[in-house]
Amino acid sequence: MSSKKITPETIRKMKGLQCIAALTVYDYPMTRLLDEAGVPLLLVGDSLGMVMLGFPDTTHVTMDHMEHHVSAAARAHPNALLTADLPYHSYETPAQAVINAKRLINAGAEAVKAEGGRRIAPQIKAIVDSGIPFCGHLGMLPQSILEEGGYKIKGRNESERTDLLADAEAVESAGAFALILELVTPAVASEITTSRSIPTIGIGSGVECDGQILVTHDLLGTFPWFTPKFVKPRMLGSVLMREAVAGWLDSIQNTKLSCKKNG
């Protein structure tokens, strides 16, 4: 792992030169492990609502939740760029967006992310003007799941394509250093990637993006109750954990039985 600190400008300059790898973190040990593995961008995502807190979706995540998990991750002092999600309804106005972005920065984040394009362009500009680096998020927006009635692939028709291209331009113009594309059709994701000067980081959006991001629990197979269709776990972490615990349970039971016999 490089000892050089990753900054938003580092991520921006990686466009066209190397694939940007990004993973989610929610606590100290995972942040430290992934940083030691050399992941350059770590996101304290509001996906923690499901994989850490057991909520049905991200709309239940609060600023207090985010601050708690950002603080834990920040204690690892990663060389990676530690970015944090602004949660549901925490950036309705530019003023509110800046206040809550500063809360995450004070908790230890080095950049913030929010969902939306032209609709939140004033919020993005206000955040960037306040000196806080910003990462965009377009395509399927998890915080809008209730309004949209589920997780849906975006860019399947000309209207959605046009909207995504306009939103990507707005996010970049407002000052974002990178842009996450979630569940965008590969063709549209590729078009956004080639038309924008900031890097795109895809999740379920094909291989033409400048980088890829996953929920770490999906990558490691430690949340077996649901795995997105576009994810191929690199290990069956839940199986290994159950086997380790079962082996330990057997060992302590056998030790106890052995002590009784010897006694």
Angle between helices 94-107 and 121-129 (to 10 degrees): 50
Point out the catalytic residue in the list 182, 191, 208, 243: 182
- In the block, tokens 């060992």 appear at 251
Could you tell me if 111 and 135 are in contact, meaning their C-beta atoms sit under 8 angstroms apart? yes
* Phi, psi of 20, deg, nearest 5: -90, 120
Helix H or strand E segment including 24? strand 20-24
d(CA 110, CA 104) in angstroms, rounded, equals 8
CA distances from 69 to 63, 72, 109 (A): 10, 5, 10
Please indicate whether residue 110 is annotated as part of the active site.
no
With b for 16 or more beta-carbon neighbours within 10 A and e for fewer, the 61-90 pattern comes to bebebbbebbbbbbebebbbbbbbbbbbeb
d(CA 167, CA 195) in angstroms, rounded, equals 12
Catalytic residues: 182
